[in-house]
Amino acid sequence: MLNYSTSEENYIKAIYHLQRQDETVTTNELANELKTKPASVTDMMKKLKIKKLLHYQPYQGFRLSSEGCKVALGIIRRHRLWEYFLAEKLKFSWDEVHEVAEDLEHVSNKKLIDKLDEFLGFPRVDPHGDPIPDANGKIEISKKICLTELPFNTPANVSGVSDQSSEILELLEHKKITIGVKLEVKKKFDFDNSMEVRIGRQPAFTISKQLAENIFVQTP
């Protein structure tokens, strides 16, 4: 596996994330994501095409090649392991880890990352509930859905919240809803769209439509 510059890595990672939703990524989308200019994107795309990391025909958008995907998964593995380390060991709060991991992820020493993985006990998800690729780049693809879309009686793990205000965190803490907790939906009420959910075997309790809309879960 070759070595790529920080800039190249940031482009590869951004394309990987953007092409999840859409089929092919456009120049403007990527420029917007990376807070750069379309002309810079085109320059880099030419470079990454030569390195065989992506498929790209002028004016037709681009997507990662299988080699490009492998590289992206390596970067994401590093990013998420560092996020886990920062939250779990250094006691960074949930919303701080991403920014710091953005820098750490570019230190690409395979032995370092594999030993870090081992030290952390081979975690399978990062502090936001996103899956961590293993040393071979394998990743558990479990789609993140909104709690409002979870069918009845289907256990799912809480994997994140979209709003990160202190107000919502206060409420989540009170209701003992934290990342990784296993939830299932028992009832929904059409009147106000509130729902009753249950954590494990504990008694069910009610959460509002507003809260449910901000909670994301993953089914294994």
Partner DNA sequence: TTAATATTTTAGCTTTGTCTAAAATTATTT
Partner DNA sequence: AAATAATTTTAGACAAAGCTAAAATATTAA
Contact set with a second copy (CB under 8 A): 86, 89-92, 96, 100, 103-104, 107, 109, 111-112, 115-116, 118-119
Among 23, 50, 59, 203, binds DNA (CB under 7 A): 59
Q: Residue 145: is it exposed, middle or buried by C-beta count within 10 angstroms (0-12/13-18/19+)?
A: middle
Q: Are residues 148 and 213 in contact, defined by beta-carbon separation less than 8 angstroms?
A: yes
* 194 is an interface residue for DNA by CB under 7 A: no
Size of the site for DNA (CB under 7 A): 26
| Residue (of 139, 121, 122, 130) closest to 101 by Cα position | 130
Among 44, 72, 101, 172, binds DNA (CB under 7 A): 44
Three-state DSSP at 150 gives coil
Nearer to a second copy, 100 or 179 (CB): 100
Least distance in Å: CB of 76 to DNA?
Answer: 19
* 170 is an interface residue for DNA by CB under 7 A: no
Least distance in Å: CB of 7 to a second copy?
Answer: 13
Nearest-angstrom CA–CA distance, 117 and 111 = 10
Nearer to DNA, 67 or 96 (CB): 67
- 114: CB partners within 8 A, 6+ apart: 135
Nearest-angstrom CA–CA distance, 38 and 32 = 8
Least distance in Å: CB of 195 to DNA?
Answer: 38
Least distance in Å: CB of 123 to a second copy?
Answer: 15
| Strand pairing class (205-207; 215-218) | unpaired
Binding site for DNA (CB under 7 A): 5-8, 10, 26-29, 36-47, 56, 58-61
